[in-house]
Amino acid sequence: MNIDSIHSGIVLDHITAGRAMQIYRYLNLDELDCPVAIIKNVRSGKQGKKDIIKIDAAIDIDLDVLGYIDPGITVNIVRDDKVVGKEKLHLPEKLTNVITCKNPRCITSIEQEIDQVFKLADPARGVYKCAYCEAEKK
Amino acid sequence: MRHLVDITDFSVQEIDDMLRLSEDIIDDRAKYAEAMHGKKLATLFFEPSTRTRLSFEAAMMELGGNVLGFSSSDSSSAAKGESVSDTIRTVGCYADVIAMRHPKEGAPMAAIKHSTVPIINAGDGGHNHPTQTLTDLLTIKREKGRLNDLVVGLCGDLKFGRTVHSLINALARYSGIQFVLISPPELKIPDYIKRMLTDNGFRWREVESLDEVMPDLDVLYMTRVQKERFFNEADYVRLKDSYILTPEKLKQAKKDMIVMHPLPRVNEISVKVDDDPRACYFRQVENGKFVRMALILTLMGEVE
């Protein structure tokens, strides 16, 4: 299978196999006009299998969202056919309007206009807590 | 501008200062009788609670201030669908400080976002109740003379009991506290609290029998099994009588142990215990007023 290499844009590499579509949706990539390639189940030395997303345009990506969904991803920045930057992701300290609190007793269940804010409570376990009611979310 | 949403919003030093101020108020009430003259406290109780509301109102009145507010969401614009945030912005135009109770967890955190006056969390659902915790800390300090090196037993509903969670979090900032967690299996304390205690090097144990640990305790904190925290009436009925403190059980306790309770009680402490000098829950109620006076003064910047 051949997929054209990109001229200037972003390659999301080392995506956990099976998560590419979730990332596609979270980053709203369906709204882009440029070529976007989702490559699933690519053989990988480190991971066995991995997914890759190639975006042929220099767009801004919310690295916090990406870090929350899959902190193992490598973000490669491509300019003029060359990789000019690599970013390793990590779990973000704070997530705003990425996930919603499911606690029916939380104020966010009735107060419509407030942001859904989660804070990283336990980096080792990847646990976030709602900034309002402190309900946990993994 | 400072608020009190969670007990950990204040450092141990700041809490110690507030407890000292409370004791100074107790020693010389006349000195503070006009400290809030011309100021207004709004008590916004979206959920009924007679005792906490009256305690706040009495505290403000003893400081020479005035109070206004409502005591249920039916009599507020929340019944018309107004957001907490809008209610707070509106009331901030009338009052100098706000004490709010709300059935939804985290409501005070939403309230402080747009507030122009200090907010005091007077209870948010099953989440936090920091002024009860201040009350408990003042009571332990006054009765035992210290807030460290104590064996503290917490008994009853440790799963939903917010006063217990807040008190453990507050005491876990002092040294030498041993926690004894006494509850039926269905009402055990949440795992994250046990994890916090272990991670911070505290000694704690979980037991089902009050009798077996009674002789070890310096403080026994009793709680009510609260009907409003259960989704299911049958579970409530089955568990409400799990632990009842009687004079017979108290015979095994240390002579200087203290019995605390956030009140109201249903039947978990026999009224026959009330005359025992170790029963300090009514003194605890009075401490609640004094510590709220100290809190209002602190948030209003009236502390030297």
Q: Quote the pLDDT of residue A88.
A: 85
Q: Quote the pLDDT of residue B283.
A: 97
Tokens of B182: 């006494």
Peptide bond into A35 cis (omega under 30): no
Ranking A3-12, A100-109, B18-27 by mean pLDDT, the lowest is A3-12
Give the domain B7-128+286-299 fold: Rossmann fold (3.40.50)
B239 vs B208, residue with greater confidence: B208
Residues of B in contact with A113 (CB under 8 A): 83, 85
Q: Model pTM? A: 0.87
B154 in Cβ contact with B223 (< 8 Å): yes
Ranking B218-227, B274-283, B284-293 by mean pLDDT, the lowest is B218-227
Catalytic residue status for B51: yes
Catalytic: which of B39, B40, B127, B129?
B129
Tokens of A119: 């804070």
Nearest C-alpha of chain A: how many angstroms from B224? 20
Q: Quote the pLDDT of residue A3.
A: 66
Tokens of A137: 């979310």
Per-residue pLDDT, averaged over B241-268, amounts to: 91
Residue given tokens 């189940």 in the structure block: A41
Q: How many CB pairs under 8 A join A and B?
A: 53
**pLDDT grade for B304, boundaries at 50, 70 and 90:** low
Domain boundaries, chain B: 7-128+286-299, 131-284
Equal CATH topology for B7-128+286-299 and B131-284? yes
> Is residue B236 over pLDDT 90?
no
Give the domain A94-137 fold: SH3 type barrels. (2.30.30)
B219 in Cβ contact with B194 (< 8 Å): no
Q: Quote the pLDDT of residue B233.
A: 81
**pLDDT grade for B225, boundaries at 50, 70 and 90:** confident
B153 vs B267, residue with greater confidence: B153
pLDDT in tens, B59-71: 999 999 999 999 8
Per-residue pLDDT, averaged over A41-47, amounts to: 88
CA distances from A7 to A22, A88, B192 (A): 25, 21, 49
**pLDDT grade for B6, boundaries at 50, 70 and 90:** very high
> Is residue B186 over pLDDT 90?
no
Q: Do B104 and A130 touch (CB under 8 A)?
A: no
Per-residue burial over A12-33, b if 16 or more Cβ lie within 10 Å, else e, is bbbbbeebbeebbebbebeeee
Residues of B in contact with A114 (CB under 8 A): 85, 110, 113
pLDDT in tens, B46-104: 988 889 999 999 999 999 999 999 987 776 767 677 899 999 999 999 999 999 999 99
- What distance in Å separates the CA atoms of residue A8 and residue B113, rounded to the nearest whole number? 42
Q: Which CATH superfamily is domain B131-284 in?
A: Aspartate/ornithine carbamoyltransferase (3.40.50.1370)
A5 vs A83, residue with greater confidence: A83
Q: Quote the pLDDT of residue B280.
A: 97
- What distance in Å separates the CA atoms of residue B262 and residue B247, rounded to the nearest whole number? 19
Q: Quote the pLDDT of residue B230.
A: 64
- What distance in Å separates the CA atoms of residue A97 and residue A114, rounded to the nearest whole number? 9
CATH number of this structure's domain A9-88, picked from the four choices 3.30.70.140, 2.40.100.10, 3.40.630.10, 3.30.950.10: 3.30.70.140
Quote the mean pLDDT of chain A: 91
Q: Do A109 and B104 touch (CB under 8 A)?
A: yes
Nearest C-alpha of chain B: how many angstroms from A94? 16
Domain boundaries, chain A: 9-88, 94-137
Q: Quote the pLDDT of residue B226.
A: 73
Q: How many residues does chain A have?
A: 138
ipTM metric: 0.85
